[in-house]
């Protein structure tokens, strides 16, 4: 494929294709792509780049190798003061910022999952807009087993997707679920043979790239608004403002102010 352009990061790989797809890959396969604060910071930087690159329409999140998408927070550097330690000893739970960044990114974000999506890694795929799973994918939460939990999107958004009973089962029993079980629960959009994972994911992305960017953006905000309270409404309303700024009616107000005259909205009809 043509996902070739490389950027320099330590914990992730970042590629952008000529046809509008960005790919962010957690590159820590030796720890099943567990994330540390630096991993998350690099993902945030790459996601921001993809968001603000007007040539990018869809973003893929994935993990290096076939064994794991992501196994959550790196337990080897989990500290005693409320988070995961960076090199200077500061404790972070910055993956929660990344989750919000994925939700508010106005472009579709697609999780491409081979192997384990576990713990905080499971919540990461959950908050992506779509999930394409390989037939070797395994899903689950481990929090109550390892002394952690995600009561944010990991709880409420998961329950919206799989229902309250199933969400409680996933969190209370900490079982692992295979790709077919995940499909049945609505946790993933499709399951494909491992060898076809990237090809199929890129095909889904290209299908979205054929569609109206503004329609996709507004639908993502609209679907978020239902779960995200005032923040969700703000996002959707922001898109309405963006569209209004593009109209002659909106521009008349700005022009009148700048030209120091009264605005004339008389020619704009009131739609039923």
Which one of residues 73, 105, 134, 158 is an interface residue with ligand 2NE (CB under 6 A)? 73
Q: Return the residue matching tokens 């029993």.
A: 173
- Say if residue 117 carries a ligand binding annotation: yes
Q: 65 Cβ partners below 8 Å, 6+ apart?
A: 29, 33, 114, 115
Would you count residue 150 as binding ligand 2NE (CB under 6 A)? yes
Nearer to ligand 2NE by Cβ, of 74 and 235: the residue is 74
Question: Near ligand 2NE by CB under 6 A, which window of 140-148, 160-168, 179-187, 242-250?
Answer: 140-148
Would you count residue 189 as binding ligand 2NE (CB under 6 A)? no
- Say if residue 266 carries a ligand binding annotation: no
- Say if residue 17 carries a ligand binding annotation: no
Which one of residues 25, 27, 62, 71 is an interface residue with ligand 2NE (CB under 6 A)? 71
Count interface residues toward ligand 2NE (CB under 6 A).
Answer: 22
Residues recorded for the chain: 272
- Looking at the DSSP bridge assignments, the partners of residue 21 are 58
Distance CA 231, CA 209 (A): 26
Segments in 105-196 forming alpha helices (H): 120-127, 143-146, 158-162, 164-173, 179-185
Distance CA 22, CA 4 (A): 10
Minimum distance, C-beta of residue 200 to ligand 2NE, in the bound complex (Å): 23
The dihedral through the CA atoms of 9, 11, 12, 13 has a sign that is positive
Residue (of 97, 93, 137) closest to 113 by Cα position: 137
Contact in structure between 154 and 103 (CB atoms under 8 Å) = no
Question: Near ligand 2NE by CB under 6 A, which window of 44-52, 138-146, 155-163, 185-193?
Answer: 138-146
- Say if residue 161 carries a ligand binding annotation: no
Nearer to ligand 2NE by Cβ, of 110 and 118: the residue is 118
Nearer to ligand 2NE by Cβ, of 65 and 213: the residue is 65
Which one of residues 11, 119, 131, 167 is an interface residue with ligand 2NE (CB under 6 A)? 119
Contact in structure between 72 and 28 (CB atoms under 8 Å) = no
Which one of residues 3, 24, 26, 34 is an interface residue with ligand 2NE (CB under 6 A)? 34
Nearer to ligand 2NE by Cβ, of 188 and 202: the residue is 188
Which one of residues 43, 58, 118, 167 is an interface residue with ligand 2NE (CB under 6 A)? 118
Q: 76 Cβ partners below 8 Å, 6+ apart?
A: 31, 34
Distance CA 152, CA 249 (A): 40
Distance CA 7, CA 248 (A): 40
DSSP letter for 261, please.
Answer: S
Q: Which residues here bind ligand 2NE, judged by CB under 6 A? A: 31-32, 34, 68, 71-76, 93, 95, 116, 118-120, 142-143, 146, 148-150
Q: Which residues are annotated as a binding site for substrate?
A: 32, 71-75, 84, 116-120, 142, 148, 245, 260
Q: Which residues are annotated as a binding site?
A: 32, 71-75, 84, 116-120, 141-143, 148, 245, 260
Q: Which residues are annotated as a binding site for hydrogencarbonate?
A: 141-143
């Amino acid at each position: 494929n043509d996902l070739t352009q490389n950027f320099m990061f330590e914990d992730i790989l970042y590629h952008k294709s000529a046809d509008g797809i960005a790919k962010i890959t957690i590159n820590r396969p030796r720890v099943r792509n567990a994330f540390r604060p630096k991993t998350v910071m690099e993902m945030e930087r790459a996601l921001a780049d993809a968001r603000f690159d007007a040539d990018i329409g869809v973003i893929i999140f994935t993990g290096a190798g076939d064994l794991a998408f992501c196994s959550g927070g790196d337990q080897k550097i989990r500290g005693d003061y409320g988070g995961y330690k960076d090199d200077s000893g500061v404790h972070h739970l910055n993956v929660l910022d990344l989750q919000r960044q994925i939700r508010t990114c106005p472009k579709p974000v697609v999780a491409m999952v081979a192997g384990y999506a576990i713990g905080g890694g499971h919540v990461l795929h959950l908050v992506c807009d779509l999930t394409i799973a390989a037939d070797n994918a395994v899903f689950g939460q481990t929090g109550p087993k390892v002394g952690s939990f995600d009561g944010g999107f990991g709880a409420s958004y998961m329950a919206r997707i799989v229902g309250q009973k199933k969400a409680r089962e996933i969190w209370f029993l900490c079982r692992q679920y295979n790709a077919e079980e995940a499909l049945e629960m609505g946790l993933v959009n499709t399951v494909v043979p491992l060898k076809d994972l990237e090809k199929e994911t890129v095909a889904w992305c290209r299908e979205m790239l054929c569609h109206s960017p503004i329609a996709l953006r507004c639908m993502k905000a609209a679907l978020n608004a239902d779960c995200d309270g005032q923040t969700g409404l703000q996002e959707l309303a922001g898109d309405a403002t963006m569209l209004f700024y593009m109209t002659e009616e909106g521009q008349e107000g700005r022009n009148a102010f700048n030209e120091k005259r009264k605005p004339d909205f008389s020619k704009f009809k009131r739609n039923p």
